[in-house]
């Protein structure tokens, strides 16, 4: 299951942070590191701070966009401070670990970390099903990138070990759509909403953001998403026949 967990670093600017994050991952048994548009290279400082985890840093997958990094993932969680401007489903770190272990049994899952100084953009945060906030000391909540990776990787490992030691029968896991499939649904939904004049073609953003939040919160399973796509297709046929 741990092999299905991706740790995604977006726009990392300090090469040493990549090495420190790789070390934090390997200590907790995670090996899949993805770098999105890194502003530095994997260099000697990276390998020095990675210590015995240089293999993870050297084998990191590098992509241009976050969508590309999480296209095959059924669960995407972004590390973020609580925001008053962008309301989104939130997880506590322990809940996050439990969700990763549950859903990572059958498909890739991604834990996303933003830039050292500015974090993730609102657009990147809206790519995530949930946000996770580490409840640090409010008087001094400064966590560096590697600390955040270590903390959340620890929670995933603890949830994994708890599941391994459990004597209870594992229930059948739900099958959730991949990120790419969910994005195709949102594109389909927006097209139908525009065609039916439910939203303005020139200003679809606000309504679509709320619909995205609704469906991220609802977490439709793959079969349920197929039903929704079928409803949208039926509406399109009805419109075209008039």
What confidence category does residue 88 fall into, taking pLDDT thresholds of 50, 70 and 90?
A: confident
Task: Judge contact between 130 and 91, C-beta under 8 A.
Answer: yes
Q: Which strands form 130-132's sheet, in the order they lie side by side?
A: 61-63, 32-36, 5-10, 109-113, 75-79, 130-132, 90-91
Nearest partner of 147 among 37, 58, 21, judged by Cα = 21
Percent of the chain at pLDDT > 90 equals 79
Q: What tens digit of pLDDT does each residue of 210-229 get?
A: 899 999 999 999 999 999 99
For residue 169, the model assigns a pLDDT of: 54
> 109 pairs with which residues across the strands?
5, 75
- What's the token pair of residue 208? 């679509």
Q: Is the pTM of this model over 0.85?
A: no
- What is the overall mean pLDDT for the chain? 92
Percent of the chain at pLDDT > 70 equals 95
- What's the token pair of residue 101? 């272990």
Q: What tens digit of pLDDT does each residue of 184-195 get?
A: 999 999 999 999
Q: What residue ranges in 163-226 does DSSP mark as E strands?
A: none
Nearest partner of 232 among 186, 192, 196, judged by Cα = 192
For residue 172, the model assigns a pLDDT of: 65
Whether residue 231 has pLDDT greater than 90: yes
For residue 9, the model assigns a pLDDT of: 98
Per-residue pLDDT, averaged over 156-172, amounts to 80
Nearest partner of 12 among 129, 106, 146, 108, judged by Cα = 146
Chain centroid to CA 80 = 11
Domains in the chain: boundaries? 2-168, 179-241
Q: In this structure, what DSSP letter does residue 196 have?
A: T
CATH number of this structure's domain 2-168, picked from the four choices 3.40.190.10, 3.40.50.1000, 3.40.1280.10, 3.60.70.12? 3.40.1280.10
Whether residue 53 has pLDDT greater than 80: yes
For residue 168, the model assigns a pLDDT of: 57
d(C-alpha 218, C-alpha 197), whole Å: 25
Domain 179-241 - what CATH class? mainly alpha
Report how far apart, in Å, the C-alpha atoms of 67 and of each of 37, 48, 73, 84, 124 are.
12, 30, 10, 24, 9
Nearest partner of 100 among 209, 203, 8, judged by Cα = 8
Per-residue pLDDT, averaged over 78-98, amounts to 86
What confidence category does residue 181 fall into, taking pLDDT thresholds of 50, 70 and 90?
A: very high
Determine the 3-state secondary structure of 91 from DSSP: strand
């Amino acid at each position: 299951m741990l092999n299905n967990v991706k740790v995604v670093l977006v726009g990392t600017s300090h090469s040493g942070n990549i090495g420190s994050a790789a070390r934090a991952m390997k200590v907790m048994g995670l090996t899949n590191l993805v770098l999105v548009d890194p502003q530095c290279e994997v260099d000697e400082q990276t390998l020095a701070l990675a210590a015995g985890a240089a293999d993870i840093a050297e084998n990191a997958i590098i992509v241009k966009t976050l969508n590309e990094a999480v296209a095959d993932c059924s669960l995407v969680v972004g590390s973020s401070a609580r925001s008053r401007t962008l309301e989104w489903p939130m997880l506590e770190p322990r809940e996050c670990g439990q969700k990763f272990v549950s859903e990572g049994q059958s498909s890739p899952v991604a834990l996303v970390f933003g830039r050292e100084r500015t974090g993730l953009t609102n657009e990147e945060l809206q790519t995530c099903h949930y946000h996770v906030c580490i409840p640090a000391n409010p008087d001094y909540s400064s966590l560096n990138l590697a600390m955040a990776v270590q903390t959340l990787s620890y929670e995933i490992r603890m949830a994994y070990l708890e599941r391994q030691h459990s004597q209870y029968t594992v229930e059948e896991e739900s099958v959730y759509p991949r990120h790419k499939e969910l994005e195709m649904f949102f594109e389909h939904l927006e097209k139908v909403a525009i065609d039916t004049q439910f939203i303005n073609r020139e200003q679809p953003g606000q309504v679509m953001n709320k619909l995205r939040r609704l469906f991220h919160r609802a977490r439709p399973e793959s079969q349920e998403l197929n039903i929704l796509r079928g409803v949208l297709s039926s509406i399109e046929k009805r419109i075209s026949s008039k």
